[in-house]
Structure formats: structure tokens, C-alpha cells
């Protein structure tokens, strides 16, 4: 078990800049524990998580208007780094590195499910303050909700997964893509494209294993900017060369238990996934979840 520092920022002045020390087995458990302490509940479904190249985690909750920073602490005792969390009274110094600027007014983009072909390539992710990112993510997601009925005319489940895969790989140029369906405590691959697709189809994941397993279990959307900085969630699926960037979303309508997950690996133009990619993958996951719910009730 490790000690984490969870910082929360909110539009509510009473919650601005709160920082909590939490002992947990991983960052996701630390986030859930911190939310319980704040009276927000441990349910993480619908949260958007970015795992950066420094090994840090930034979490956005657009619906509640919260932003979080989650960092594994390296306690210092008398100038020596300790392997195990010490008694809090022995800890020397804290490191809280989070900006709390108010989100600026940003006009929501127009357009629909398709990416504009003339849009310039993104060469880096402009993180900015948590508030600014919260505003951008919220406005980026809104217009994509217009396409929640994108798969309404598909009644065959296999065809449904394949069509969703086609949507993803057409809109976002990636090295590989995978769609996984939840079956008890396992994830079964239903559709795969790109590198090592044939070999990958024979694999199964445990719920909670890798990025797809985390998304399917917790309901969070994951954007992993640098997989090497997060060894606990890389290497779960066979993509040939190890992935650098992963983008993963649950297959679920808002607040529902996920049916599975969709996972994209490495844009072919070798730039990080941006916020429009993030919003697009989340929207496809929601549309898939909606159609699967309808078919289950039929």
C-alpha cells in the first residue's frame, strides 16, 4: 500500500485547493477514497482521467465541476526517501502542484460526429489549469451526444461491434483498435483492427487488468499519454511493439455498469491523443452502451 496526495479543485469556493493524504493500493483506489472523505461517493463512472508522462494522474468530473490531481507520495524522513509510508508526524514537507485558475468562457464547438478533415494536427497536449481543461472537455463532449443513436439500425451484436470499430478507425488514425465485451469477471475481444489484430483476438483480460479492464470495471475514460510512465496498466493486450499512448473508454450509458470497453493505441501521425479524440471515443462508448441496453431489453 502506498500513500497518495489527492488535490481537488472545484467551482465551489469552499472546496478550492483541498488536499488529502490517502493510503491505497493504487491511484484509482486513492481517488475513490478521497471522494468518500469529501462526501462525493466512491463511484467513479463518468470521470475522465489523463495519465501523463511524469507518472501523475489528472482527473476531471465535468458533471460535478471538479478537477483532481493524484500523485504517489515519496515520503522523506530526515532527508532520506522511505520505501514505506511513515507515520504522518514524521513526514517532512509536502508537494502540491496544481493551478486553480477559473475556467474561461469558451464557446462550444459546432459540428457532429465526424472529425473535420481540415483540422490541424495536434503536436502536443495543452494541459493548462484544471479549470480551463474542465471547460474545454465539457464543451468538446456536448455536440457528440447528438449521435447517441448512431447504431440504432443495427440489430446484430457482432455487426454492431464491427460498425463501432469502423467509426473509430475512420475518425481517428490509429495503429490499432480493440473492442472488448464484459463476460462476468473477464473481457472478451469482439472486434480488433490494426497491428497484431489476429493474435489479439485470441486474448482475454480479467476485469480490472490493463487500461481496458480498468475502464470496464470503474467506468472511467482513460487517456494515457506515456505508457512507460504507468507500468501497472501497460502490456495487457498484444499490439506488437509496446504502445506509447492509449485511449480507452467504457461501453456504457451515463452512470450505468459498463458492458465492456473500447481501446485505441498510438495515432499514426505520432502525436498524443487530444481532447477531441477523448470526447469522440467516449461518445462511441456511450452510443454502443445505449444500443446494447436496447437490444438486451428487446
Q: Per-residue confidence at 137, pLDDT binned at 50, 70, 90?
A: low
Contact predicate 264/114, CB 8 Å: no
pLDDT at 90 exceeding the cut of 60: no
pLDDT digits (tens, 9 = 90+) for 99-130: 322 333 333 323 223 333 333 333 233 445 54
pLDDT at 13: 56
**Cα 73 to Cα 76: distance, rounded to the nearest angstrom:** 9
Q: What domains does the chain contain, in order, with CATH numbers?
A: 2-90 (no CATH), 135-297 (3.30.450.40)
- C-beta separation of 103 from 135 below 8 A: yes
Q: Which residue has the higher pLDDT, 95 or 212?
A: 212
DSSP for 135-155, please give it: HHHHHHHGGGGGGTTTTTT--
pTM of the model: 0.75
Residue 170 near residue 141, CB atoms below 8 Å: no
Whether residue 25 is predicted with pLDDT greater than 70 in this model: the reply is yes
Strand positions, DSSP E, 28-169: 48-51, 57-61, 66-72, 76-77, 80-81
Nearest to 262, CA basis, from 282, 279, 277 = 282
Sign of CA dihedral 242, 167, 296, 42: positive
Amino acid at each position: 500500500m502506498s500513500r497518495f496526495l489527492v488535490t481537488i479543485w472545484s467551482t465551489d469556493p469552499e472546496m478550492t485547493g483541498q488536499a488529502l493524504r490517502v493510503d491505497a493500493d493504487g491511484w484509482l483506489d486513492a481517488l475513490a477514497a478521497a471522494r468518500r472523505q469529501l462526501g462525493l461517493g466512491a463511484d467513479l463512472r463518468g470521470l475522465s482521467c489523463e495519465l501523463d508522462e511524469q507518472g501523475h494522474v489528472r482527473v476531471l468530473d465535468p458533471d460535478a465541476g471538479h478537477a483532481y490531481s493524484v500523485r504517489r507520495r515519496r515520503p522523506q524522513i530526515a532527508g532520506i526517501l522511505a520505501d514505506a509510508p511513515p507515520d504522518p508526524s514524521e513526514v517532512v514537507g509536502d508537494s502540491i502542484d496544481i493551478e486553480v485558475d477559473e475556467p474561461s468562457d469558451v464557446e462550444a464547438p459546432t459540428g457532429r460526429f465526424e472529425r473535420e478533415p481540415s483540422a490541424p494536427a495536434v503536436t502536443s497536449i495543452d494541459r493548462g489549469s484544471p479549470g480551463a481543461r474542465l471547460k474545454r472537455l465539457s464543451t468538446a463532449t456536448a455536440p457528440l451526444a447528438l449521435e447517441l443513436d448512431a447504431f440504432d439500425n443495427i440489430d446484430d451484436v457482432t455487426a454492431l461491434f464491427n460498425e463501432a470499430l469502423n467509426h473509430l478507425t475512420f475518425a481517428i488514425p490509429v495503429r490499432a483498435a480493440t473492442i472488448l465485451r464484459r463476460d462476468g469477471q473477464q473481457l472478451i475481444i469482439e472486434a480488433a483492427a490494426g497491428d497484431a489484430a489476429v493474435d489479439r483476438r485470441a486474448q482475454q483480460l480479467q476485469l480490472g487488468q490493463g487500461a481496458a479492464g480498468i475502464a470496464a470495471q470503474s467506468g472511467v475514460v482513460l487517456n494515457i499519454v506515456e505508457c512507460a510512465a504507468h507500468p501497472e496498466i501497460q502490456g495487457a493486450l498484444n499490439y506488437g511493439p509496446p504502445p506509447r499512448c492509449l485511449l480507452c473508454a467504457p461501453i456504457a450509458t451515463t452512470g450505468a455498469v459498463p458492458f465492456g470497453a473500447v481501446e485505441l493505441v498510438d495515432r499514426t501521425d505520432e502525436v498524443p491523443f487530444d481532447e477531441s479524440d477523448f470526447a469522440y471515443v467516449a461518445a462511441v462508448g456511450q452510443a454502443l452502451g445505449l444500443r446494447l441496453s436496447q437490444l438486451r431489453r428487446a
